[in-house]
Chain A
Amino acid sequence: MARRSLPNLLKRLSFTAAPPRSRTITYMPRPGDGTPRAVTLIPGDGIGPLVTNAVEQVMEAMHAPVYFERYEVHGNMKIFPAEVVESIRRNKVCLKGGLITPVGGGVSSLNVHLRKELDLYAALVNCRNMPGLPIRHEKVDIVVVRENTEGEYAGLEHEVVPGVVESLKVITKHCSERIAEYAFEYAYLNNRKKVTAVHKANIMKLADGLFLESCREVAERYPAIAYNEIIVDNCCMQLVSRPEQFDVMVTPNLYGNLVANTAAGIAGGTGFMPGGNVGADYAVFEQGTSAGNVGNDKIIAEKKANPVALLLSSAMMLRHLQFPSFADRLETAVGRVIAEGKCLTKDLGGDSTTQQVVDAVIANID
């Protein structure tokens, strides 16, 4: 039941406000598909609780057939609590806020730990221009598919002698192949025309060479999708000068992090780009890129965190759970709020609080 607030009533009375509703063709559900689904919710640290609360409110307002099982996890815990992992294994889907990873503290990142535990081998970030965002680059529509389990994040470091430290970057054919498969399959299912592999094989000939070999093999199986390769430093340079040439990008772990954050930055900011991690059995949705997903003290204190990324990720989650019309409504509402430009959070130069943005989104849901 939508909140009967005055602006809402007025909108329903006026005939000029809302754009004409276009009914999209929906799919035919099976009986029982509407039973509420359980989703594990991990509020996380920093601005996490604020933005996950925003998602909960919006889901409530839409009466989406989703209910959340909340679990408290914090970045300074040694390992992910077993019950949380158990819950995710049961529900298959999770929505997560950011977890702080202490810098150089000897505690390994819980985010990375969760991904390896559940074998979430693909991280997706959807970077796309949205009307209303102040941007310098037009026509950005990039999806970054990033290998999530190995590469530079293998966490295998040791001190050889005092003052000399080694870190191992591990690339395997198995992981490279399955991430390339995922990228091409994603492109195929979402009508994307081109996949670009990002690498540094001129210097790391064996490691990135193996990655490229796997990508090339998979590319041959999808002749309708164009494939090309680009070196990572050239890639970053092209992203800031001509981002329209990129479509889907498949990368190993570290380059994926950099490229995703750069692409999100040029598309409008990391606070707006949805994404998630997916594996063969489980899916975890969170703010697409890792920059800024825990916010800073000032934003937390003033409650001015940007919930848009997590709202859009929850729309992706709704589609994953096969509730496409709820997802469409949510995305349209968020799109309208941003386009109107009246409720803007700090990173857009505005001054609204999270709650104000949530209220605006709820008001715009039809």
Chain B
Amino acid sequence: MSLQSFLSVFRRGTLFPFSPSFVELERAKFQHIPQTSPAIMAFKQILSRALRSRPDQILSSPSAFSAARAFSSAPITATLFPGDGIGPEIAESVKQIFREAEVPIEWEEHYVGTEIDPRTQSFLTWESLESVRRNRVGLKGPMATPIGKGHRSLNLTLRKELNLYANVRPCYSLPGYKTRYDDVNLVTIRENTEGEYSGLEHQVVRGVVESLKIITRQASLRVAEYAFHYAKAHGRERVSAIHKANIMQKTDGLFLKCCREVAEKYPEITYEEVVIDNCCMMLVKNPALFDVLVMPNLYGDIISDLCAGLIGGLGLTPSCNIGEGGIALAEAVHGSAPDIAGKNLANPTALLLSGVSMLRHLELHDKADRIQKAVLETIAEGKYRTADLGGSSTTSDFTRAICDHL
């Protein structure tokens, strides 16, 4: 990126509207650069990159400025994992729609290998992971976990290697697809690395098992920071922390303390704490009461699936995993449905909406809005619906209908 274009971007004055973008903040933390003014920070980044031992990065990489990405005309490279089963079909659908909408993204496709890569201890190759680390964004389709021993599960590999610490699931009712709940509009943000899922269990004596639940200040602060940042960036008004601190006083108490600390830095966002049993009850009675929910791992798992159930199931729910350094891996959380693979019957909605949340992370808001609107309108119209939504269209018909709506 030439010096002229760099300066012109600053002159436009729209580079940093309110505060440095989240990715910049993350980068600053990651590279131990103290937070200074955005312009100086960006300049320091160029300098530090130029002085580091990978001189090709500053010249060839289109993502030299993550914040400038939204305004550069060079396409953004993103990793795509089509996955198994219906994965390739719906990934094809997504690519077609993104092409029609003229989204400046170039896809780098990677597939799950057929043998274990010793460098990653799983079926995902080192190259795939490096690709995500390099591109900083990715889209993942459903992957069937191969059965067997001697390897880590695919999701676990991705989570550990890319340090994905927050799982974001925006749940909103799709107009036109009638479920029992019509007014759902909430986002669940779940801590993804520790809590009850640390996997630390042991048998004390025969017939007695202990399982450890770990909560650390660092992880709780990290996810709370992301939750409040997300709320601010997307214009959300309220963040609710979900806990069971009346029983688990030290663990959930620590989580709440961290949330409170972060809440003080964002006085314009209302912060509340809700006990998980109240939360479950309120969600099934009146989901409109909630806005953004931030939770530790186990509660997050259950509540985010509950919210997915409220809007119609996992086949319609987008999801995005956020990692250290501003990595975002959007994924479709449904299964790979091997029984309908290859028959052009799959519903690409989940992967599409996940792609939309990926675009929002990249701050390509207008493109994201366009595609989301097209998807919602197509489903609302009801003429083209795939089998799981009660219609009889094929994937290609559905895709074409969305392209027409763009």
Measured in the bound complex, the distance between the Cα atoms of B199 and A108 in whole Å is: 27
A174 adjacent to B207 (CB under 8 Å): yes
A105 adjacent to B309 (CB under 8 Å): no
For B, the interface residue count at a CB cutoff of 8 angstroms equals: 57
Please provide the chain B residues from 124 to 166 with a CB less than 8 Å away from any CB of chain A in the complex: none
- Least Cβ distance of A198 to chain B in Å? 10
Cβ of A7 under 8 Å from chain B: no
B212 adjacent to A172 (CB under 8 Å): no
B251 adjacent to A157 (CB under 8 Å): yes
Least CB separation from B249: chain A residue: A104
Measured in the bound complex, the distance between the Cα atoms of B206 and A174 in whole Å is: 11
Q: Which residue of B180, B306, B308 contacts A262 across the interface (Cβ within 8 Å)?
A: B306
Q: Which residue of A101, A163, A174 contacts B216 across the interface (Cβ within 8 Å)?
A: A163
CB-defined contacts of A258 to chain B, threshold 8 Å: 276-277, 280, 302
CB-defined contacts of B277 to chain A, threshold 8 Å: 257-258, 260-261, 289-291
CB-defined contacts of B214 to chain A, threshold 8 Å: 164-166
Cβ of A228 under 8 Å from chain B: no
Cβ of B248 under 8 Å from chain A: yes
Cβ of A185 under 8 Å from chain B: no
Measured in the bound complex, the distance between the Cα atoms of B304 and A170 in whole Å is: 25
Cβ of B218 under 8 Å from chain A: yes
A237 adjacent to B250 (CB under 8 Å): no
A167 adjacent to B246 (CB under 8 Å): no
Please provide the chain A residues from 200 to 220 with a CB less than 8 Å away from any CB of chain B in the complex: 200, 203-207, 209-210
Please provide the chain B residues from 252 to 291 with a CB less than 8 Å away from any CB of chain A in the complex: 252-254, 256, 273, 275-278, 280-285
CB-defined contacts of B212 to chain A, threshold 8 Å: 166-169
CB-defined contacts of B199 to chain A, threshold 8 Å: 203
Q: Which residue of A101, A173, A232 contacts B302 across the interface (Cβ within 8 Å)?
A: A232
CB-defined contacts of A262 to chain B, threshold 8 Å: 280-281, 283-284, 306
Contacts A237-B309, A258-B302 given; indicate if A168 touches B281 (C-beta within 8 A).
no
Please provide the chain A residues from 216 to 269 with a CB less than 8 Å away from any CB of chain B in the complex: 232-234, 236-241, 254-255, 257-258, 260-262, 264-266, 269
Q: Indicate with 1 or 0, residue by residue over B230-259, a CB within 8 angstroms of chain A CB atoms.
A: 000000000000001111111111101000
Contacts A166-B251, A233-B305 given; indicate if A257 touches B201 (C-beta within 8 A).
no
Please provide the chain B residues from 340 to 367 with a CB less than 8 Å away from any CB of chain A in the complex: none
Cβ of A344 under 8 Å from chain B: no
Q: Which residue of A103, A174, A210, A270 contacts B246 across the interface (Cβ within 8 Å)?
A: A103
CB-defined contacts of A170 to chain B, threshold 8 Å: 208-211
CB-defined contacts of B244 to chain A, threshold 8 Å: 254, 257
Measured in the bound complex, the distance between the Cα atoms of B205 and A171 in whole Å is: 11
B247 adjacent to A169 (CB under 8 Å): no
Measured in the bound complex, the distance between the Cα atoms of B249 and A137 in whole Å is: 35
Measured in the bound complex, the distance between the Cα atoms of B71 and A21 in whole Å is: 78
Cβ of A292 under 8 Å from chain B: yes
Least CB separation from B254: chain A residue: A165
A167 adjacent to B250 (CB under 8 Å): yes
Measured in the bound complex, the distance between the Cα atoms of B218 and A102 in whole Å is: 25
CB-defined contacts of B301 to chain A, threshold 8 Å: 233
B309 adjacent to A240 (CB under 8 Å): yes
Please provide the chain B residues from 194 to 234 with a CB less than 8 Å away from any CB of chain A in the complex: 196-197, 199, 201-203, 206-218
Contacts A136-B180, A206-B203, A261-B280 given; indicate if A109 touches B209 (C-beta within 8 A).
no
Least CB separation from A257: chain B residue: B277
CB-defined contacts of B313 to chain A, threshold 8 Å: 237, 241
A265 adjacent to B217 (CB under 8 Å): no
Cβ of B320 under 8 Å from chain A: no
Contacts A103-B245, A266-B284 given; indicate if A237 touches B306 (C-beta within 8 A).
yes
Cβ of B23 under 8 Å from chain A: no
Measured in the bound complex, the distance between the Cα atoms of B253 and A265 in whole Å is: 26
CB-defined contacts of B213 to chain A, threshold 8 Å: 152, 166-169
B249 adjacent to A106 (CB under 8 Å): yes
Measured in the bound complex, the distance between the Cα atoms of B206 and A173 in whole Å is: 9
Least CB separation from A205: chain B residue: B201
Please provide the chain A residues from 124 to 163 with a CB less than 8 Å away from any CB of chain B in the complex: 136-137, 152-153, 155, 157-159, 162-163
Cβ of A62 under 8 Å from chain B: no
- Least Cβ distance of A149 to chain B in Å? 13
A101 adjacent to B253 (CB under 8 Å): no
Q: Which residue of B179, B201, B250 contacts A165 across the interface (Cβ within 8 Å)?
A: B250
Interface CB pairs A-B, < 8 A, 7: A101-B247, A103-B273, A104-B253, A164-B215, A206-B203, A237-B305, A292-B281
